[in-house]
Structure 1
Amino acid sequence: MATIFLFLLLSAIFAVEAQSGQSIIEPGSFLTATLTPTTNSSWLSPSGLYAFGFYKQGNGYAVGIFIEGIPQKTVVWTANRDDPLVPADATLNFTSDGQLVLQSAQQGTNTRITNSTGVASASMLDSGNFVLYSSDNNTIWQSFNQSTDTLLPSQHLSVNEVLISSVSDSNHSTGRFLLLMQQDGYLAMYPVGTPYTLEYGYWNYVTPGPENNAKLNLDDNGHLYIDSITGTAGIVDLNLGDNSTKGLLYLLRIDADGILRLYSHSMDQNGTWSVTWSQPDDKCLPKGLCGLNAYCVNTNQSLGCNCLPGFAPTNQSEKSSGCERNFTADSCKGMSYTMELVNNTKWEYKNISVLSLTQEACKAACLEDCKCDAVLFKDGECKMQTLPFRFVTLHQDDSFLALFKVGISTPTTDRNVSKKSKKEVIIISVSLVAFAIVLVISGVVMYRYRVWACKKESNHGNIVLSEEDSLRSFTNAELEKVTDNFKEEIGRGAFGIVYKGAVGDGKKLIAVKRLDKLLAEREREFQTEMKVIGRTHHKNLVQLLGYCHDGPNRLLVYEYMRNVLYNSKSKAIFFSPRLQCTHGSLKVKKN
């Protein structure tokens, strides 16, 4: 009886091993990249649904896990993702010490897929998980713990683990978006390489209360849910799945466009992948979808990318390639610019300065600043921004005004400027410069002639004042001479001293007021008398005859009147004691 039992037990063990087929991989096994009927390029799971090995990518090959049991071969995991391509002569060796090593004679390289030690065997499971075992059948390494962009049934995403999108459906290298199971219980999506903060996130789903042990799960029936190892968070259903439908294959993937989608596929030979659930609903929400200096627009379920003002697509055939400046400037100061408004626009703000200005002053400040490429204006606050503009999106907050600097010049796309036009520009420029030089020289000559004439007249001592002429301009040296070096003082006050002088061979007496210091207050006083008294004529007002505006010297020349007390504290010179002083610089009183 015992002999029969032992026979049956051994038979069962042999049957299980026979059914396993290629699922158990022993050290010394190898795969070749060349995909032909006579070469072994992959290791299959027992049912033949999944395979681990080489698959075609672009002009080369990559190593990963893919669904083999359906016509539409679908990659679910990629090894060495950021450098996946290998040449056609590559082989994958499962070495005697349990290492998976990619070798290429053409490139002379040996690249490890895993760094595990103590490996005795490997297996491709029907769950889609590729596992390395120790000699006592304990799991040493598994692909389910090294997720790329896809979550399979029975696989879960634990705290701080991520799914990262691929570049495209045909290129499974690391893309631009990720799904993260956060420590605070949030399941959230971000652009790759950004902080995990609200500013950069574009979608999230939260468990009921913070839970450090939360994990995302997908079961065989397409049920997508979040639960906890400790059970304190409960179960949160993202998608209930269809438990009544059998024969469907499910997978969850964050796609190249940043959208998280749950796919289902019928197991019959005519089936195709269908989307049963996706988030976010707004396909323009993934930040950076259109690349730098561009934003996404969603019209009638059709996505498009628009460039910001002053930019043009970097690559017309690839909408996610972003935009670049559509003009060039040899010099910031040599360009002409304007500011264009784009409503409801936000991006990753990088302030180079924040000023309190009006909207027009804000625009002017950006136009004057070579580092400023745009401004955000709100409630008197002017935020200057610089390139590049990353994660540009449209939003509903219209309280911000976004204005972009745009060059008023020939775009870089129009490079066919004729030699004739360039020659005309050079000729006009040279002519304008020559004309300016002539004007400067003429001005200098006229000025020097006038100074020479004045000096000549002064040297002859024959200064003549004309009643019909306007105010006469004196030099300081002239007034020193006619006042005998400011010898006779006839008045004094807070603003200066008044001296007696004579012109016209001593026949006409004058009163000369010299402001004592060239301060801002004195300068205003001087300008006031020049403008007001210089064009005022009144029988009770001493007439202003001339002035001196010579370097730091400020002097005023009045007609001299006998029996008058000159007092420079007041604002005018009147003969009538009944009149009050209102302008000017000197006050006189009748003795």
Structure 2
Amino acid sequence: MMPILFFPFLLLSAIFAQQRQSHVKPGSFLTPTTNSSWPSPSGLYAFGFYKQGNDYAVGIFLAGLPQKTVVWTANRDIPPVPSDSKLNFTSDGRLVLQSAQGAETSLASFPEDASSLSMLDTGNFVLLNSANQMVWQSFDFPTDTFLPTQKLFHGQVLYSSISETNKSTGLFRVLMQEDGWLAMYPVGTPYTLEYGYWGGGISGQRNDVVLHLEVNGHLYLINGAGTIIVNMTDGYPAKDVVYRLTIDPDGILRLYSHDMNRNQNWTVKWFAPNDDACKPKGLCGLNAYCLLVDLQVGCKCLPQFEPVNKDDRSSGCQRNFTMESCKSDRYAMKAVLNTVWENNSYSVITSTTQENCGEACLRECNCEAALFKDGVCTKQKLPLRFGRRDQKDSTVTLIKVGTSTKR
């Protein structure tokens, strides 16, 4: 058993020594099934092919762990490639993915030809020119994971993955904003307070605030004057421990640790938002709302709706009946309590009652749902999105449903 325990310890001996490099020269190549990756000097990180479904993707992963944890993916939104593909560092200094038929896809764009490339012990993959100067690095183009010694500058974004096994761009993002706030939004929405679901920062800062993660798990925001403005964590033991910050497929930002001397899974040290796992907007897709069941996230369809895909909660819900007529006697209004949604109203009625709100929607062909709160009725068209059960919010969702009446 000693070699098994000793090996991870050796891996950690050089994990944070960024100057140690294993240079790869032009003309080198990788294939998915033989020489599949270029390791960092310690062997902890590697750049190359990893399995995704029945095919292969290219990225950076923690090769020194029993479970191969992917921390960066190249061209994450193109389909995985088959086993007869090749990753080629060409003689003219380009890094390209080649199909068996000879078609090429570039994996990195840089202003000059690269003379060498290197997988560093920090988890940063770099390309260097003939003067050994860096012309490209993966740290500048993060995907869903942020590593120690990496920095997130204003305008840079982490995007969640679709799932643990599919690293394509998912539903959520965390952004280092120009106002100095680290904030989280659903993909495809404006960067406004209405759509944000978590933020960390201090008002009045400029665009020089940077997110830092130290090798001991100390996560913080620091401004251009060198002042730490927000401590998200105070740091933890660093000896033989690896840390990573990931925006997970469920929209939660989590700081993980892994003790290299123990055969264990990743441990969550910090996460945000930390008060409600349903806060990430859009977890359940259109016409569905998120609710907690025994502290676990669940999704529920609106009345007379059914899941589009039971195996994919983000696919949302669709009606299980067809609206064939505008006649109000064929429909009724069903109330769903304590549910909040994006307010995309086309008409607003004030100083009214819940009953009158429902009647007003029922009589109008264009109205498919209404949100009622504190005497205000907002008429809505489908789909409804960003639904969440909130017991502290008195909003009542009134949804138009079919009845058995036929005339």
Same fold per superposition (TM over 0.5):
yes
Distance 1:162 1:336, change over 3 A: same
Larger RCO (alpha carbons 8 Å, 6+ apart): 2
Letter matched to residue 364 of structure 1: E
Letter matched to residue 348 of structure 2: V
Counterpart of 1:115 in structure 2 is 109
Distance of 2:214 and 2:20 partners within structure 1:
26
User: Which stretches in structure 1 are left out of the alignment for 5+ residues?
Assistant: 1-19, 411-424, 430-591
Q: 1:313 aligns with which of 293, 304, 307?
A: 307
Shift of 1:363: 2.1
Counterpart of 2:247 in structure 1 is 254
8 Å Cα contact 2:20-2:121 kept in structure 1:
no
Distance of 1:188 and 1:364 partners within structure 2:
40
8 Å Cα contact 1:158-1:214 kept in structure 2:
yes
Counterpart of 1:32 in structure 2 is 31
Distance of 1:89 and 1:324 partners within structure 2:
41
Alignment of 1:226 onto 2:221: yes
Q: SS of the residue aligned with 1:221?
A: coil
Distance of 1:301 and 1:359 partners within structure 2:
31
TM-score of the aligned structures, taking structure 2 as reference length: 0.89
Shift of 1:215: 0.7
- Pairs within 5 Å for 1:164-243: 164-207=159-202, 209-231=204-226, 233-243=227-237
Letter matched to residue 26 of structure 1: K
Bigger shift: residues 23-32 or 328-337 = 328-337
- Pairs within 5 Å for 1:404-423: 404-409=399-404
Shift of 1:110: 1.2
Letter matched to residue 77 of structure 2: D
Identical-residue share of aligned pairs (%)? 59
Counterpart of 2:297 in structure 1 is 303
Bigger shift: residues 367-376 or 196-205 = 367-376
Distance of 1:316 and 1:336 partners within structure 2:
29
Q: SS of the residue aligned with 1:351?
A: coil
Counterpart of 1:69 in structure 2 is 64
User: Which stretches in structure 2 are left out of the alignment for 5+ residues?
Assistant: 1-18
Letter matched to residue 27 of structure 2: G
Q: SS of the residue aligned with 2:228?
A: coil
Distance of 1:28 and 1:229 partners within structure 2:
42
Alignment of 1:267 onto 2:260: yes
Letter matched to residue 373 of structure 1: E
Distance of 2:323 and 2:285 partners within structure 1:
23
- Pairs within 5 Å for 1:269-288: 270-281=263-274, 282-288=276-282
Letter matched to residue 250 of structure 1: Y
8 Å Cα contact 1:347-1:392 kept in structure 2:
yes
Counterpart of 1:156 in structure 2 is 151
Q: SS of the residue aligned with 2:165?
A: coil
Shift of 1:120: 1.2
Distance of 2:29 and 2:20 partners within structure 1:
16
Instruction: Give the length in aligned residue pairs.
Output: 386
Bigger shift: residues 198-207 or 302-311 = 302-311
Counterpart of 1:572 in structure 2 is none
8 Å Cα contact 1:32-1:91 kept in structure 2:
yes
8 Å Cα contact 1:335-1:407 kept in structure 2:
no
8 Å Cα contact 1:247-1:266 kept in structure 2:
yes
Counterpart of 1:331 in structure 2 is 325
Distance of 1:42 and 1:406 partners within structure 2:
56
8 Å Cα contact 1:296-1:305 kept in structure 2:
yes
Q: SS of the residue aligned with 2:232?
A: strand
Q: SS of the residue aligned with 2:357?
A: helix
Distance of 1:128 and 1:246 partners within structure 2:
17
Q: SS of the residue aligned with 2:346?
A: strand
- Pairs within 5 Å for 1:355-504: 355-356=349-350, 359-378=354-373, 380-396=375-391, 398-409=393-404
TM-score of the aligned structures, taking structure 1 as reference length: 0.62
Q: 2:87 aligns with which of 80, 85, 92?
A: 92
Counterpart of 1:507 in structure 2 is none
8 Å Cα contact 1:189-1:202 kept in structure 2:
yes
Bigger shift: residues 233-242 or 220-229 = 233-242
Shift of 1:250: 0.5
1:334-379 per-residue CA deviation (whole Å, 9 max, x = no partner) reads: 8711001122222112222224555444322312222211112345
Shift of 1:45: 0.6
Q: SS of the residue aligned with 1:239?
A: coil
Bigger shift: residues 155-164 or 330-339 = 330-339
Shift of 1:299: 2.8
